Protein backbone atom coordinates (compact mmCIF):
# COMPACT_ATOMS: atom_id res chain seq x y z
CA UNK A 1 0.00 0.00 0.00
CA UNK A 2 1.46 3.34 -1.09
CA UNK A 3 0.77 6.59 0.74
CA UNK A 4 0.18 9.50 -1.65
CA UNK A 5 -0.90 13.16 -1.45
CA UNK A 6 -2.53 14.70 1.58
CA UNK A 7 -6.25 15.24 0.97
CA UNK A 8 -7.32 16.73 4.27
CA UNK A 9 -5.83 17.91 7.55
CA UNK A 10 -8.30 18.01 10.41
CA UNK A 11 -8.01 18.92 14.07
CA UNK A 12 -6.74 15.51 15.13
CA UNK A 13 -6.06 13.51 11.95
CA UNK A 14 -4.70 13.77 8.43
CA UNK A 15 -6.10 11.91 5.44
CA UNK A 16 -3.92 10.83 2.51
CA UNK A 17 -4.79 9.14 -0.75
CA UNK A 18 -3.32 5.73 -1.54
CA UNK A 19 -2.59 3.82 -4.72
CA UNK A 20 -6.06 2.26 -4.31
CA UNK A 21 -8.82 4.80 -5.10
CA UNK A 22 -11.19 3.08 -2.65
CA UNK A 23 -8.83 3.32 0.34
CA UNK A 24 -7.42 6.18 2.42
CA UNK A 25 -4.45 6.48 4.77
CA UNK A 26 -5.50 7.93 8.14
CA UNK A 27 -2.90 9.38 10.53
CA UNK A 28 -3.81 10.17 14.12
CA UNK A 29 -2.01 13.29 15.38
CA UNK A 30 -0.84 14.42 18.79
CA UNK A 31 -2.79 17.66 18.28
CA UNK A 32 -5.43 18.41 20.89
CA UNK A 33 -8.08 21.04 20.17
CA UNK A 34 -11.23 22.33 21.83
CA UNK A 35 -13.88 25.00 21.25
CA UNK A 36 -13.71 24.64 17.46
CA UNK A 37 -9.94 24.98 17.44
CA UNK A 38 -9.70 28.01 19.72
CA UNK A 39 -7.72 25.99 22.27
CA UNK A 40 -4.78 23.94 21.02
CA UNK A 41 -1.95 21.84 22.41
CA UNK A 42 0.39 18.97 21.57
CA UNK A 43 0.02 15.90 23.76
CA UNK A 44 2.63 13.15 23.55
CA UNK A 45 1.24 9.72 22.56
CA UNK A 46 -2.26 11.03 21.88
CA UNK A 47 -2.20 9.89 18.25
CA UNK A 48 -0.95 6.45 19.18
CA UNK A 49 -3.44 5.88 22.00
CA UNK A 50 -6.43 7.10 19.97
CA UNK A 51 -5.41 5.04 16.94
CA UNK A 52 -5.25 1.86 19.00
CA UNK A 53 -8.45 2.52 20.96
CA UNK A 54 -10.26 3.30 17.71
CA UNK A 55 -9.02 0.10 16.07
CA UNK A 56 -10.16 -1.94 19.07
CA UNK A 57 -13.64 -0.38 19.16
CA UNK A 58 -14.13 -0.57 15.40
CA UNK A 59 -13.27 -4.26 15.62
CA UNK A 60 -15.88 -4.80 18.34
CA UNK A 61 -18.52 -2.99 16.28
CA UNK A 62 -17.69 -4.96 13.13
CA UNK A 63 -18.01 -8.19 15.13
CA UNK A 64 -21.45 -7.02 16.28
CA UNK A 65 -22.60 -6.39 12.71
CA UNK A 66 -21.98 -2.62 12.46
CA UNK A 67 -20.03 -2.05 9.24
CA UNK A 68 -17.34 0.64 9.44
CA UNK A 69 -14.77 2.24 7.18
CA UNK A 70 -11.92 0.68 9.19
CA UNK A 71 -9.74 -1.86 7.33
CA UNK A 72 -6.59 -2.37 9.39
CA UNK A 73 -3.86 -0.71 11.44
CA UNK A 74 -0.77 0.34 9.49
CA UNK A 75 1.40 1.56 12.37
CA UNK A 76 1.10 2.87 15.92
CA UNK A 77 -0.54 6.05 14.60
CA UNK A 78 -1.87 5.07 11.17
CA UNK A 79 -4.81 3.12 9.81
CA UNK A 80 -6.15 2.10 6.43
CA UNK A 81 -9.82 2.97 5.88
CA UNK A 82 -12.41 2.80 3.11
CA UNK A 83 -13.05 6.05 1.24
CA UNK A 84 -16.55 7.24 2.13
CA UNK A 85 -18.71 10.04 0.78
CA UNK A 86 -19.39 11.62 4.16
CA UNK A 87 -22.74 13.07 5.20
CA UNK A 88 -22.38 16.54 6.79
CA UNK A 89 -24.11 15.63 10.05
CA UNK A 90 -23.06 14.29 13.42
CA UNK A 91 -25.14 11.75 15.29
CA UNK A 92 -25.04 12.04 19.09
CA UNK A 93 -26.46 9.67 21.67
CA UNK A 94 -26.66 10.74 25.31
CA UNK A 95 -27.02 8.27 28.17
CA UNK A 96 -26.19 10.83 30.87
CA UNK A 97 -26.70 14.60 30.76
CA UNK A 98 -23.43 16.47 30.19
CA UNK A 99 -21.84 19.26 28.16
CA UNK A 100 -24.06 21.24 25.81
CA UNK A 101 -27.25 19.40 26.78
CA UNK A 102 -26.82 20.45 30.39
CA UNK A 103 -26.21 24.08 29.38
CA UNK A 104 -28.96 24.16 26.78
CA UNK A 105 -31.72 22.67 28.93
CA UNK A 106 -30.59 23.60 32.44
CA UNK A 107 -30.44 19.98 33.56
CA UNK A 108 -27.68 19.18 36.08
CA UNK A 109 -24.67 17.42 34.60
CA UNK A 110 -24.59 13.79 35.67
CA UNK A 111 -28.36 13.27 35.48
CA UNK A 112 -28.86 9.69 34.28
CA UNK A 113 -31.43 9.53 31.49
CA UNK A 114 -34.20 6.89 31.65
CA UNK A 115 -33.52 6.12 27.97
CA UNK A 116 -30.85 7.27 25.52
CA UNK A 117 -31.52 10.53 23.69
CA UNK A 118 -30.54 10.96 20.04
CA UNK A 119 -29.56 14.33 18.52
CA UNK A 120 -28.42 15.51 15.07
CA UNK A 121 -25.88 18.32 14.62
CA UNK A 122 -24.81 20.03 11.40
CA UNK A 123 -21.09 19.54 10.95
CA UNK A 124 -19.68 23.07 10.66
CA UNK A 125 -16.90 24.54 12.81
CA UNK A 126 -17.75 28.03 11.54
CA UNK A 127 -21.31 27.68 12.85
CA UNK A 128 -20.25 25.73 15.99
CA UNK A 129 -22.07 22.54 14.90
CA UNK A 130 -25.67 23.70 15.43
CA UNK A 131 -28.41 21.34 16.62
CA UNK A 132 -30.69 20.30 13.74
CA UNK A 133 -33.56 17.88 13.14
CA UNK A 134 -34.67 15.38 10.51
CA UNK A 135 -36.52 18.03 8.50
CA UNK A 136 -33.43 20.22 8.14
CA UNK A 137 -31.42 17.26 6.90
CA UNK A 138 -33.98 16.00 4.40
CA UNK A 139 -35.19 19.33 3.03
CA UNK A 140 -31.69 20.79 2.70
CA UNK A 141 -30.48 17.66 0.95
CA UNK A 142 -27.83 16.57 3.44
CA UNK A 143 -29.23 13.02 3.60
CA UNK A 144 -32.27 11.10 2.39
CA UNK A 145 -35.10 9.94 4.63
CA UNK A 146 -33.78 6.38 4.42
CA UNK A 147 -30.27 7.51 5.34
CA UNK A 148 -31.64 9.44 8.33
CA UNK A 149 -33.45 6.34 9.59
CA UNK A 150 -30.38 4.19 9.00
CA UNK A 151 -28.07 6.61 10.87
CA UNK A 152 -30.40 6.58 13.86
CA UNK A 153 -30.68 2.80 13.89
CA UNK A 154 -26.90 2.31 13.60
CA UNK A 155 -26.15 4.91 16.28
CA UNK A 156 -28.45 3.19 18.75
CA UNK A 157 -26.94 -0.18 17.78
CA UNK A 158 -23.51 1.22 18.62
CA UNK A 159 -24.88 2.20 22.03
CA UNK A 160 -26.12 -1.35 22.61
CA UNK A 161 -22.63 -2.67 21.88
CA UNK A 162 -20.48 -0.08 23.64
CA UNK A 163 -22.41 0.63 26.86
CA UNK A 164 -21.85 -2.88 28.25
CA UNK A 165 -18.32 -3.00 26.84
CA UNK A 166 -17.33 0.11 28.79
CA UNK A 167 -19.41 -0.86 31.83
CA UNK A 168 -17.43 -4.10 32.13
CA UNK A 169 -14.30 -1.92 32.29
CA UNK A 170 -15.74 0.24 35.07
CA UNK A 171 -16.47 3.13 32.71
CA UNK A 172 -19.77 4.91 32.03
CA UNK A 173 -20.41 5.79 28.39
CA UNK A 174 -21.97 9.22 28.96
CA UNK A 175 -22.38 10.28 25.33
CA UNK A 176 -20.66 10.02 21.96
CA UNK A 177 -20.78 11.33 18.41
CA UNK A 178 -20.67 9.37 15.18
CA UNK A 179 -20.31 10.27 11.52
CA UNK A 180 -21.46 8.22 8.55
CA UNK A 181 -20.72 8.06 4.85
CA UNK A 182 -21.65 6.08 1.76
CA UNK A 183 -19.44 3.36 0.30
CA UNK A 184 -20.62 1.52 -2.81
CA UNK A 185 -24.25 2.16 -1.94
CA UNK A 186 -23.97 1.22 1.73
CA UNK A 187 -23.97 3.55 4.74
CA UNK A 188 -20.90 2.89 6.90
CA UNK A 189 -19.62 4.30 10.17
CA UNK A 190 -16.69 6.63 9.52
CA UNK A 191 -14.35 8.98 11.38
CA UNK A 192 -13.15 7.60 14.75
CA UNK A 193 -14.41 6.47 18.12
CA UNK A 194 -11.98 7.38 20.88
CA UNK A 195 -11.91 9.48 24.09
CA UNK A 196 -11.75 12.52 21.76
CA UNK A 197 -15.31 11.92 20.53
CA UNK A 198 -17.15 10.51 23.52
CA UNK A 199 -17.54 11.25 27.22
CA UNK A 200 -16.28 8.52 29.51
CA UNK A 201 -16.53 8.67 33.30
CA UNK A 202 -15.19 6.31 35.94
CA UNK A 203 -18.27 4.37 37.02
CA UNK A 204 -17.43 4.68 40.72
CA UNK A 205 -15.85 8.11 41.14
CA UNK A 206 -17.39 9.87 38.08
CA UNK A 207 -13.91 11.13 37.24
CA UNK A 208 -13.70 12.27 33.63
CA UNK A 209 -11.56 10.07 31.35
CA UNK A 210 -12.06 11.87 28.04
CA UNK A 211 -11.42 15.10 26.14
CA UNK A 212 -13.20 17.15 28.82
CA UNK A 213 -9.96 16.84 30.78
CA UNK A 214 -8.37 19.01 28.10
CA UNK A 215 -11.37 21.31 27.64
CA UNK A 216 -11.63 22.01 31.36
CA UNK A 217 -7.89 22.07 32.21
CA UNK A 218 -8.17 19.04 34.51
CA UNK A 219 -4.73 17.72 33.59
CA UNK A 220 -3.51 14.13 33.07
CA UNK A 221 -5.26 13.93 29.71
CA UNK A 222 -3.15 11.22 28.11
CA UNK A 223 -2.77 9.36 31.39
CA UNK A 224 -6.56 8.98 31.45
CA UNK A 225 -6.71 7.98 27.78
CA UNK A 226 -4.13 5.30 28.55
CA UNK A 227 -6.20 4.18 31.55
CA UNK A 228 -9.23 3.78 29.25
CA UNK A 229 -7.13 1.65 26.89
CA UNK A 230 -5.80 -0.54 29.72
CA UNK A 231 -9.25 -1.14 31.18
CA UNK A 232 -10.60 -2.15 27.78
CA UNK A 233 -7.66 -4.47 27.22
CA UNK A 234 -6.21 -2.49 24.33
CA UNK A 235 -2.49 -3.32 23.91
CA UNK A 236 -0.28 -0.22 23.91
pLDDT tens string 213-229: 999 999 999 999 999 99
Q: Which residues touch 115 (CB under 8 Å, ≥6 apart)?
A: none
Domain parsing of the chain, residue ranges = 3-82, 85-220
Select the CATH number that applies to the domain covering 85-220 from these four: 3.30.470.20, 3.40.50.300, 3.10.450.50, 2.60.40.60. 3.30.470.20
Three-state secondary structure readout of the chain: CCEEEEEEECCCEEEEEECCCCEEEEEECCEEEECCCCEEEECCCHHHHHHHHHHHHHHHHHHCCCCECEEEECCCCEEEEECCEECCEEEEEEEECCHHHHHHHCCCCCCEEEEEEEEEEECCCCCCCCEECHHHHHHCCCCCHHHHHHHHHHHHHHHHHHHHHHHCCCEEEEEEEECEEEECCEEEECCCCCCCCEEEEECCCCCECCCHHHHCCCCCHHHHHHHHHHHHCCCC
pLDDT tens string 18-28: 999 999 999 99
pLDDT tens string 104-137: 999 999 999 999 999 999 999 899 999 999 999 9
Asked which of 30-39, 42-51, 84-93, 98-107 is least confident by mean pLDDT, the reply is 30-39
Residue 101 scores a pLDDT above 90: yes
- What's the confidence (pLDDT) of residue 26? 98
The percent of residues above 90 in pLDDT, for the chain, comes to 96
- What's the confidence (pLDDT) of residue 27? 98
Select the CATH number that applies to the domain covering 3-82 from these four: 3.40.718.10, 3.40.720.10, 3.20.20.80, 3.30.200.20. 3.30.200.20
- What's the confidence (pLDDT) of residue 147? 98
pTM of this structure? 0.96
Crossing angle for the helix pair 46-63 and 221-232, to the nearest 10 degrees = 30
Q: If you average pLDDT over every residue of the chain, what do you get?
A: 97
The percent of residues above 70 in pLDDT, for the chain, comes to 100
Amino acid sequence: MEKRQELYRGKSKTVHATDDPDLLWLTFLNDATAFDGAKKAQLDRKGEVNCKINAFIMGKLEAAGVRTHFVRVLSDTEALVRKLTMLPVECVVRNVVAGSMSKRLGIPEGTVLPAPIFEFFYKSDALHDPLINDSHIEVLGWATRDEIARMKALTFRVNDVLKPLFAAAGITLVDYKLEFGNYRGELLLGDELSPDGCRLWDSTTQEKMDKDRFRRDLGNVIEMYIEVAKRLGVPL
